[in-house]
Amino acid sequence: MLRLAFDLLLIGAGIAAYFIFPDNLGFVTRVLIMIIMVLSLDLVLGYAGVATLGHAALYGAGAYGAGLFAIYYSPDPLTGLLVGAMAGGVTAFVSGLILMRANGLTLLMLTIAVAQIMQEIVNKERAITGGSDGLLGIDMDPIMGVYAFDFFGRTGYWYALVVLLVVFFALKILVASPFGNMARGIHESAPRMRAIGTPVYWRLVAIYTISGIVAGIAGALSAQVTELVSLEAFGFALSAEAMVMLILGGLGRLYGAIIGTIIFMVVHHTAASIDPFNWLFVIGTMVLIVVYFVPEGFMGLPVRLRRWMRWQK
């Protein structure tokens, strides 16, 4: 019952945001897209325990995949979204074949390397990708031939919200499924999972591929809504920020990804508009406080508070 209440609250908040922030729809849409990216990271890091600092490789693949598809083949948004998802998924599968054999620091370094290699490939293929100038000339058709993207970002907002809700509820089903339970099992004890007959490596490749599909969707959405893709889509900053957002919200909880992203982006937005040069100080302090006092993230706050109140009595 509580779960259903939270789900309805999420849908309600998504609809309400449109009316509460009519002049900031561009920013709110960016938040929605980032939530999808962080949900994708939660699947691998929070659920399966695979530490990665190169998740932008999958996001970037989706962004460039959808962008290039729109320029060279078809500007249809839904087909483009599918292409972006596939680009993210294929990138995750191919890189996952190598990455999922590693762990610890080696894995972290390899994930960064994959993102940097992809960034450099896109940079070198200037004739197709625009290189460091970014991918220009994306001009999307109306969604389903009806809803045209507008200057105020209204269509973009609803489009991103619907995609986010579809992704969120799909992931909710996935993490509660046997496959999702196996991912948690791998996180808790990979040797034990092998001992119960689980092909851990292939399961991790599958999880990483699904995560790539979701990150690809986030990248594709970004490309379609902003009609621009730059090399930053593969940037280390994006991967690192996504990880910070997830840690802030709480790993292994889909709502943690949502809360962490909203808090990070709102604080970032507000702090950067007050002091464009020192906003990182605010973010750094916030992360420090959360990691030190609530290592489970904001989603762990109710449990901490309950424990603290019991201790007070």
Partner 1 sequence: MNAGLRVKNLQMHFGGIVVADNINLSLEPGDRKALIGPNGAGKTTFANLLTGNLTPTGGSISLDGMDIKRMKESKRVRAGVAKTFQITTLFRHMSVRENIRLPILERMGRGMRMFKRADSYPDVEEEIEQMLSQFNLQSLADVEVHELAYGQQRLVEMALTMALKPRILILDEPSAGVAASDAHIITDAIENLPDDLSVLIIEHDMKLVFKVASRIIVLVNGAILCEGTPGEISKNQQVRDLYLGARHDG
Query: To the nearest whole angstrom, how small is the minimum distance from the Cβ of residue 96 to partner 1?
Result: 16
What is d(CA 115, CA 130) in angstroms, rounded to the nearest whole number?
A: 18
Contact between 299 and partner 1 by CB under 8 A: the answer reads no
Q: What DSSP character marks residue 177?
A: S
Interface with partner 1, residue 194, by CB under 8 A: yes
Closer CB to partner 1, 145 or 191, in the complex: 191
Comparison of 143 and 299: residue with beta carbon closer to partner 1: 299
Instruction: Write down the least CB distance from residue 163 to partner 1, Å.
Output: 19
* Nearest distance, CB of residue 255 and partner 1, angstroms: 18
Instruction: Tell me whether residue 46 or residue 80 sits nearer to partner 1 (CB atom).
Output: 46
**CB-nearer residue toward partner 1: 104 or 191:** 191
Establish if 145 lies at the interface with partner 1 (CB under 8 A). no
Using CB under 8 A as the binding rule, whether residue 302 contacts partner 1 is answered as no
Residue 180 contacts partner 1 per CB under 8 A: yes
Upper half-sphere CA count for residue 208 (Cβ side, 13 Å): 29
Tokens of 88: 């993210």
Q: Give me the phi and psi of 147, to 5 degrees please.
A: -95, 100
**Of 201-260, which residues contact partner 1 (CB under 8 A)?**
203, 206
Q: Is 270 in the site for partner 1 (CB under 8 A)?
A: no
Question: Residue 90 and residue 59: Cα distance in Å, rounded?
Answer: 12
Torsion, Cα of 284, 120, 54, 228 (10° steps):
70
Half-sphere exposure of 107 (CA within 13 A, CB side): 17
DSSP 28-72: HHHHHHHHHHHHHHIIIIIIT----S-THHHHHHHHHHHHHHHHH
Angle at 26 between CA 173 and CA 283, to 5 degrees: 80
Judged by CB, which is closer to partner 1: 122, or 167? 167
Q: Which is nearer to partner 1, 176 or 291 (CB)?
A: 176
Positions 109 through 128 that interact with partner 1 (CB under 8 A): none
Residues that bind partner 1 (CB under 8 A): 173-174, 176-182, 184-185, 188-189, 191-200, 203, 206
